[in-house]
Structure 1
Amino acid sequence: MKLMVVESPNKIKKLEAILGDGWKVMASVGHIRDLPRDDLGIDLADFVLNYEFIPPSTFQGRTFPGGEERVARIRREMRSAEMVYLATDPDREGEAIAWHLKDSLGLDETQYMRVTFDSITKDVIRGALGKARKIDYDLVHAQEARRALDRMYGYLVSPLLSETLGMSLSAGRVQSPAVRLVVDNERRINAFKKTSHFGAVVSFDGDAWQAEWNTKPFVTAEAPYVLDEALATRAAKCRQFKVTDSQNTTAREAPPAPFSTSLLLQAASVSLKFDPEVTARLAQKLFEQGAITYIGTDSVNFSDEGLRDIRAFAIGKGWKLPDEPRRFKEKASAQEGHEAIRPTHLEDEDAGEDDPQRALYRLIWQRSIASQLADATYKVNTVSLAAVDGAETFEFKANGRVMVEAGWRALTALDAIADEGDADEPAGGKVPMLEIGSSKRADSGKLLRKETKPPARYTKASLIKKLENEGIGRPRTYPPIMKNIMDKGYLSEVKRFLQPTDIGCQLVDELVKGEFGFIEVPFTRGMEEELDHIAGGGRSYLDVVAPAYEQLQAEIAAVGTGGTMKPRFPCPKCDSGQRRYAPSGKTPFWCCTNAECKHFMDDVGGKPAERKVYACTVCDNGTMRRFKRKVGAGNLWACSNDECKHFMDDVNGKPVEPTVHKCPTCKAAPLRRYQKKDKETGKPKGGFGWFCTGTECKTFLDDEGGKPVAIKTAPCPKCGKLMYRRKGEFGYFWGCSGFKDGCKTVMDDKGGKPVPKDAKGGSKPKVGTGKIPTRVAVGVPTRVVARPTKKA
């Protein structure tokens, strides 16, 4: 038996069907080991990474096995395998996972082979097995270097940043420059001052076509716009023109390139409104189903096999092709050697398990074929006209085009990324061919009021494009980059446009102020190039990681001695930084980061404020401290003196003596409010109630709006015993106190009175077996109830 190990369990069924008998396919389910969560995980003497198995995880009540358990399962099958084929994804991260599997399984060089494939088809899989090799350690070291660098910048800079800004923040080697791009762009937008200027347009032949005023003769480089409204009005009033130039040409429009990972993320964002992480997940599913080639690629070109398949399919459909297959210019930083994303079976025009998958597949299918079709061709008419008014000559120009051959646009009318509208509609209308020197009269004219526009805000699609153009990140990193900076609240999305939050701006400002190299785009771009050199065998792991660490340590030391990053909220006692803590379910507070000081402050509007001290109104030496109620909404105050146990209500952040309700039975002891609990589980159930604190009095009352009210009773219509009004999961109901004697009467509640069930016309309340809680009405001490402990 031969054993193949892949990353995703979704590939198993498809691969086993292709491989046939004598094969077993198992999945690592992604990474099996990683650096520790709560430690740097790097031996700084030699920069060895200290990996540990990924622990089990729990999601929605289900526990998923950790890396060690997954490896043990593979090891059991490996014992009966003659050869283990490590077939993790064909990129640097996949190569690293293959090495982790080899190391964890204890495989020597004779026991395994490494195979990679860009698509899950019979021919590709068979071809991959024929090219089986050993692990490429240059790729593994490149991935390890990326992991080490990301961990160093994150773990060594984030605490400093958190202390300075007073809250838990994280810096990132790639995510921080990505945030900076948005921050800098937003500041350019805010600093932009619009300029109002003017233009003119005239219409001809019943508004069939238009010509726009050429303002160049009236502007300069220093004053690029027409600010004279009177001049523009004169231009708009021109009617009699002479044709000064008339040209008829043919324009060709080549199709857009196939999808790389970046282009696919952008196109799905623009055309399908998918977030990058959603697109990545859907595309991975399609790859695992064998519907498309591998999604992690920088390439915008197809393999020879892919080109042959597309051209043959297009010929069968009768679509026009260029004489030679199209090759598109690659980026200088393109890596991994994978072809662009394409369908594996072109005859399948639809694929996927749900509507989002099918929509993404259709986008890929159209783009792949369109990229190899003939150019779209247009007939273009360009006319220049001139009108004389006094001493000025006003030039107008019209440009119109009409599609002659649709070419690739017959398959997909719009470029999924770039097109804003229908490209077939000419900007100037149907411009006719006119004879040079002839006269032409305009029907009408219009003054154009224009304003200069600020830089456009980034969308997720355009930010990914910017990152790619700047050489920041790589195909598999774009979705997690976007997810991290959004989830951490550094950017917000408003109508699909990205805007930096206050904390995002502060994060960038502090990193720039601290002069950290990784916040600069050229530094980050250079680091990506260094990782590429490791993958290509030109640099070693230590050649890149060690100098980066030394530089980072020097930058951190300079910040510490230079005092450039000062605490945003200094402690009023020791001048160290105050840091905000927001424990789940509790009131946020601030605490000094100096372990010897530990000065606490309240949180008011997200900023620290000195705690107001309120003396206890019962004891002499205690002060009141505010807490969030464990049950119910709001806060309460409790005395710091453990022997006092005095509680007070919270009203607008101040302690107020709670209203005292005297017992209506004994007239002496006060009543105390308590949370009703399930008799068996002890968990809160059924709201609140009140009981008398007197030792001898056994009075209980109901709770309405935080006030005690008498327990309502009525005689049972069947046995004559008392019925009690109770509050259940579906509202109030009435139950007979004689249920132990066999009376199971349960009635609905209407206006505080018992009525036969369904008398209100509503659905029947689900009250279980009809058992009634054994509390009693005022003055009916039929049992002793265990009293709640002393609480507010």
Structure 2
Amino acid sequence: MSYTCYGKLPMGANTLGVYVSSSLTVGRVAVRSQVIKSMAFVLTKSISLSFLFFSASLSSHVCISSNPIHLRHLHGALRYPGKRMHGKPTLFNFAPCSKLDSTTKFDKRSFGSTPPSMATKAAEDKPPQLVVVVESPNKAKALQSYLGSDFMVLPFHGHARCLAGMTGSVRPENGYAMVWEVPESAQSHLARIKSACKSAKGMVLATDPDREGEASAWHISETLKGQLNRSKFHIKRMLYSEITEKTVLLSMQALQQVNKPVVDAYCAQCALDYLIVSALSPLLWRKLACSQCVGRAGFAALQLVCEREKAIEDFIAQEYWTLEAAFSDETTAFSLYPISNDGTTSQELHHFPDESTCTAVAEKLKGLPVRVSKITRQLKPVDPPEPYTTSTLVEDSNAMLGFEAAETMTFAQRLFEGIDLGKGEYMGLITYPFTEQPQLSEAAARSIWAIAAQRFGNNYVPPNPREFKSGATNMNEPYEAIRPTDMWRFPSTLSQKLDKNALALYTLIWKRTFECQMQGAVYEQIYADLIMETESMHLQTNVNKLSFTGFLETLEDSETSTLQHTWQSCAREQKYYSSEVWNMIANLKEGDVVRIRKVAVMHHLTSPPVRYSEGLLIKAMEAAGIKRPSTYSSALKSLQAKKFVRTDKQEIIPEVEGRMVSSFVSRYLSKFLDCSSIAVIEQQLDEVSCGCLQYEEFLGGFWPSFSAEVASVMNLPFQTISRALQETVAALCSANLGIKGHFCPRCGTGRLTMKDHHCGSGYLFRCDNHLCRYELFLPLALFFVL
């Protein structure tokens, strides 16, 4: 008896050895580009084979030596439907040949997921009650350990369908119908799920609890619904925001249907992005020297970066002066600020407007008596920060840990999906990381109170749970902030389970969650108003002291001391004084007369706006109303991939082409693609997901006017566009190429005009003075280094 198998192999793969034998013990065979015996083939990079064929007598095992990715390709050739196969292969063992012996067993960890043949055999031995579909192998392991043998948990990577890669995948003339196709990468996963569902009673789609996860569940359901064709086979949706045994089991008892409005919002988002890119790509290609399109969120981020860069370039530093004074040569100096001359208000001016005034006041202060007219004491409470949302987590991890946005979300996703805690126990360490909701569950708050009371005492626990107001408009998506699933799992207990970066991010999340439910810190502040009676000059000084640490006590806690950072906003707002200065000001009384013995004039310059880091840019996008956590890192990646921006020492700097694209879009399409317009689109998508706005109504309100505007801009002559963009390009090139404003650097009288040059290879500046004929060609390659 024999069998024959056909299947595609990956081209250019590393060395792959295939051995067919009736025995389990197979020795290592030297890799050669020839047939070894009559039953083994060895494939190397030098052999261009697209199909594999082998025939042998009935054997009990096929042993393959390669990496797991290539094994999946070959294993699919033997087992997946659609491949020709005669006979039925027996159970296969996969392991490196050097380790094969009579006790060799299949190791799941070498694949990251259960191979189709193993899943099929398990289904045949004991049919599962339900098939549960998740996104990753780690999720599958965790849920399988919770649910038991009555369930088969299978991982599915990516979407089961995507928009067809052809023109017209979205058809406005047909009610904005969308054409979907099943990518090749999803076919093997679908075949495996279909095979497992043949003997099951139903399928549970346990994908992520957001818009993307709902769409992934819908794609799988729509793809398999017609193929299963069983009246009593039910497909349900399971929602959970953390991967713990209690949450998963409770969610399994509250199954529901796929949320159609959320799916409609996903489809509207995909259709809109497709239409915008398909309309803008030819426009930018023709009008801006082969520039590319970056999508809605990308345009918003690019606009923010370019506006900040222009503000930095236009910034003119302003001078101001302050006074540092002391009551004697031995005491530490304190700051003096001018206040209103009538003394009726304590509004601070903070500085002297010019040096002469400040110097004159300093000269008069030396040795003159100054009377204390008023002492004001007050307590200033400082509330703890909110728990993390996606944007604030990225901002803090970028500032405190140096992680990029993509790195932060990779580590966060790994913590959410769960790790092996030992003895087969899998546990998700944090809640779902893509969220804009800052609320905490009551159980989490009570855990924090218990830990705070145990570590610091009852004075650090608030009398009632601290509630945080959400600015999110879509309440159908994750309802809780990013927090540890179990606050009693301290960071120190995971030092051997997590790598350095993942542990640092978990510690950051644990600290923020812990301190958000503690008492606020309290600062005691003293304001002293001083009067120079001979000159009628009113001055003020103030000092502050931390009187109750509250949540700031976590800075010294052993669990978070490894971060070596203080709460950033608190550190910026508070200026700390020595105990000597505090005691000196605190001992003053109204009516006291003191003499200032030492005065120094301090010169200052105002600082320009800082460039955006990834964290600050995401915070700015959220403040602008673009609250779509899953798009933040992808938008930044798109800008960097198209060379519209670059990152230098965590600062995002726009490139010349990026600034030209931003200037072009702001000039001609601002009512559709500026930050405020994109924020309105995001709000409307939230309305679609809540069922308040229909899919066709949303797209019909945007696309007709947008396409008409794009067509109008497409008909504009290049001269009109070049005049609009000339100021942007000239300003960028002036420092490097001698171009100042609009005038020719050679004759000084002619004006420079910009022209597109050689089908998008760059730009040509030409003097309009026919006697001068000055020309300057700027290739795109030069733009990228300006």
1:104 counterpart residue number:
223
Question: CA, structure 1 residues 607+298, in 2 after alignment: closer, same or farther (shift >3 Å)?
Answer: closer
1:380 partner amino acid: Q
Query: Which of 1 and 2 has greater Rg?
Result: 1
Structure 1 unmatched ranges of 5 or more = 56-65, 582-587, 591-601, 609-792
2:600 counterpart residue number:
446
For 2:673 and 2:195, how far apart are their aligned partners in 1? 47
For 1:300 and 1:412, how far apart are their aligned partners in 2? 22
1:249 counterpart residue number:
378
Question: CA, structure 1 residues 283+109, in 2 after alignment: closer, same or farther (shift >3 Å)?
Answer: farther
Question: CA, structure 1 residues 5+258, in 2 after alignment: closer, same or farther (shift >3 Å)?
Answer: same
1:651 counterpart residue number:
none
Structure 2 unmatched ranges of 5 or more = 1-127, 419-427, 557-564, 726-754, 765-775
Q: Provide Cα deviations, 1:553-598, integer angstroms capped at 9, x if missing partner.
A: 111121133447867699xxxx9874347xxxxxx999xxxxxxxx
For 1:497 and 1:279, how far apart are their aligned partners in 2? 17
Q: Does 1:300 align with 2:428?
A: no
Q: Does 1:21 align with 2:159?
A: no
Residue in structure 2 matching 1:54, options 157, 171, 183: 183
Equivalent residue runs for 1:627-638 within 5 Å: none
Q: After TM superposition, give the deviation of residue 447 of structure 1 in Å.
A: 0.7
Q: Does 1:341 align with 2:495?
A: no
1:518 partner amino acid: F
Q: After TM superposition, give the deviation of residue 103 of structure 1 in Å.
A: 1.0
SS in 1 for 2:479: coil
**Conservation of the 8 A alpha-carbon contact between 2:430 and 2:483:** yes
Equivalent residue runs for 1:226-375 within 5 Å: 226-237=352-363, 238-239=365-366, 240-289=369-418, 290-319=428-457, 320-333=460-473, 335=475, 336-350=477-491, 351=494, 353-375=498-520
For 2:640 and 2:487, how far apart are their aligned partners in 1? 36
For 2:756 and 2:622, how far apart are their aligned partners in 1? 40
For 1:449 and 1:543, how far apart are their aligned partners in 2? 60
1:105 partner amino acid: L
Residue in structure 1 matching 2:555, options 406, 409, 412: 412
Q: Provide Cα deviations, 1:288-313, integer angstroms capped at 9, x if missing partner.
A: 01000111111111022222222233
Question: CA, structure 1 residues 125+332, in 2 after alignment: closer, same or farther (shift >3 Å)?
Answer: closer
Residue in structure 2 matching 1:159, options 278, 282, 305: 282
1:376 counterpart residue number:
521
SS in 2 for 1:31: coil
For 1:214 and 1:488, how far apart are their aligned partners in 2? 52
2:614 counterpart residue number:
460
2:131 partner amino acid: L
Q: After TM superposition, give the deviation of residue 132 of structure 1 in Å.
A: 0.7
Q: Provide Cα deviations, 1:522-554, integer angstroms capped at 9, x if missing partner.
A: 211111110010011101110111221101111
**Conservation of the 8 A alpha-carbon contact between 1:296 and 1:476:** yes
Residue in structure 2 matching 1:490, options 644, 664, 687: 644
Q: Which is richer in helix?
A: 2
| Range 15-24 or range 428-437, more displaced | 428-437
1:34 counterpart residue number:
162
Q: Provide Cα deviations, 1:297-354, integer angstroms capped at 9, x if missing partner.
A: 1111102222222223323334421100100122153542420011012122124621
For 1:459 and 1:215, how far apart are their aligned partners in 2? 37
2:769 counterpart residue number:
none
Q: After TM superposition, give the deviation of residue 157 of structure 1 in Å.
A: 0.4
For 1:291 and 1:512, how far apart are their aligned partners in 2? 43
SS in 1 for 2:527: strand
Question: CA, structure 1 residues 417+381, in 2 after alignment: closer, same or farther (shift >3 Å)?
Answer: closer
Q: Provide Cα deviations, 1:256-288, integer angstroms capped at 9, x if missing partner.
A: 000011111111111111111110110000000
**Conservation of the 8 A alpha-carbon contact between 2:321 and 2:601:** yes
2:321 partner amino acid: F
Q: Does 1:402 align with 2:562?
A: no
Q: After TM superposition, give the deviation of residue 39 of structure 1 in Å.
A: 3.7
1:477 partner amino acid: T
For 1:216 and 1:51, how far apart are their aligned partners in 2? 70
Q: Provide Cα deviations, 1:131-161, integer angstroms capped at 9, x if missing partner.
A: 1100000000111111111111112102211
| Range 301-310 or range 358-367, more displaced | 301-310
SS in 1 for 2:555: coil
For 1:253 and 1:379, how far apart are their aligned partners in 2? 11
SS in 2 for 1:166: coil
2:312 counterpart residue number:
189
2:780 partner amino acid: G
2:110 counterpart residue number:
none
**Conservation of the 8 A alpha-carbon contact between 2:204 and 2:235:** yes
Q: Provide Cα deviations, 1:686-727, integer angstroms capped at 9, x if missing partner.
A: xxxxxxxxxxxxxxxxxxxxxxxxxxxxxxxxxxxxxxxxxx
Residue in structure 2 matching 1:173, options 293, 296, 304: 296
**Conservation of the 8 A alpha-carbon contact between 2:299 and 2:674:** no
Q: After TM superposition, give the deviation of residue 130 of structure 1 in Å.
A: 1.5
**Conservation of the 8 A alpha-carbon contact between 1:211 and 1:396:** no
**Conservation of the 8 A alpha-carbon contact between 2:529 and 2:538:** yes
| Range 298-307 or range 512-521, more displaced | 512-521
Pick 1 or 2: higher relative contact order, CA cutoff 8 A, min separation 6.
2
* TM-score normalised according to structure 2 size: 0.68
Q: Which is richer in strand?
A: 1
SS in 2 for 1:357: helix
SS in 2 for 1:323: coil
1:628 counterpart residue number:
none
For 1:287 and 1:565, how far apart are their aligned partners in 2? 54
Question: CA, structure 1 residues 267+417, in 2 after alignment: closer, same or farther (shift >3 Å)?
Answer: farther
Q: Provide Cα deviations, 1:182-240, integer angstroms capped at 9, x if missing partner.
A: 1122212212222223222212463335132226559xx9x997444222112223143
For 1:347 and 1:362, how far apart are their aligned partners in 2? 13
**Conservation of the 8 A alpha-carbon contact between 1:370 and 1:411:** yes
2:106 counterpart residue number:
none
Q: After TM superposition, give the deviation of residue 7 of structure 1 in Å.
A: 1.1
Question: CA, structure 1 residues 49+136, in 2 after alignment: closer, same or farther (shift >3 Å)?
Answer: same
1:69 counterpart residue number:
188
Residue in structure 2 matching 1:115, options 234, 238, 250: 238
1:5 partner amino acid: V
2:212 partner amino acid: E
Q: After TM superposition, give the deviation of residue 423 of structure 1 in Å.
A: 4.9
For 1:435 and 1:368, how far apart are their aligned partners in 2? 43
* TM-score normalised according to structure 1 size: 0.68
Q: How many residues align?
A: 573
Question: CA, structure 1 residues 281+416, in 2 after alignment: closer, same or farther (shift >3 Å)?
Answer: farther
Question: CA, structure 1 residues 82+89, in 2 after alignment: closer, same or farther (shift >3 Å)?
Answer: same
SS in 2 for 1:249: strand
SS in 2 for 1:412: helix
